[in-house]
Amino acid sequence: GAGVSQSPSNKVTEKGKDVELRCDPISGHTALYWYRQSLGQGLEFLIYFQGNSAPDKSGLPSDRFSAERTGGSVSTLTIQRTQQEDSAVYLCASSPSQGSNYEQYFGPGTRLTVT
């Protein structure tokens, strides 16, 4: 079946612009996760959703970052007033439910470059 998809695959934006990154999870997966991976670095957890609810937003790097999920499916990560330090690959994952005992299925990521 179809895996996790993300769009766009690449995004180049000017500093100060807003960007929206989209994630389509595997159908039926109730949990969805966002991570950030800076160039040559490890994976930084940002936020997770169980259904449409994100119970903890403290992992978002700043108040310029927000995320939402509608219909228990598609999620968008929005970055307002982008800065050069926001340049990274943003990875989305989904799992059948939320919990460390579930395998997370990752999308290919969106590479964001802020110039």
Partner 1 sequence: LAKTTQPISMDSYEGQEVNITCSHNNIATNDYITWYQQFPSQGPRFIIQGYKTKVTNEVASLFIPADRKSSTLSLPRVSLSDTAVYYCLVGALLLTSGTYKYIFGTGTRLKVLA
Q: Is 107 in the site for partner 1 (CB under 8 A)?
A: yes
Bridge partners of residue 76, in order along the sequence? 22, 68
Cβ nearer to partner 1, comparing 6 with 82: 6
Cβ nearer to partner 1, comparing 82 with 98: 98
Q: ∠101-105-110 over CA atoms, to 5°?
A: 135
CB of 16 to partner 1, least distance (A): 27
Q: Distance between CA atoms of 68 and 52, rounded to whole angstroms?
A: 7
- Answer for the pair 69, 32: CB distance below 8 angstroms, yes or no: yes
Chain contacts with partner 1 (rule: CB under 8 A) = 4, 33, 35, 42-45, 48, 55-56, 59, 91, 93, 98-101, 103-109
